[in-house]
Structure 1
Amino acid sequence: MAATTFTLVTTVPRPHRLATAVRAIRAFGGAAAAVALLGDYGPPGAGVRDPRPGHIGRVRD
């Protein structure tokens, strides 16, 4: 059996917190602008439309 050595990695490089915050603001801001200005809610299959189980009666608008 051959001896194998592994180098120990103690730190994982992470993105800067400011960069993560800017990316999140850009994503949420873009989505909010699309809904508010364009009325675009995205593709019909995206998100959870009705989380209630099917056997519970639904109230229609």
Structure 2
Amino acid sequence: MPKLWNETIDAHRRAVRDACLDTTAALVAEHGLLSVTMSKIAEETGIGRATLYKY
């Protein structure tokens, strides 16, 4: 597999992971830890809930 392809996938994974973490932090700050669900994080991030568990 070409190196460029690997870097592209790695960059995508980092971007999704960072988006998940940023969204989680924002939701916790706004609603409190006990009010934040995995479904809400996934919805706000724009990914599926099953995908969120991958990250």
TM-score by length of 2: 0.42
Larger Rg: 1
More helix, by proportion:
2
**Comparing both chains, which one has the higher relative contact order based on Cα–Cα distances under 8 Å and sequence gaps of 6 or more?**
2
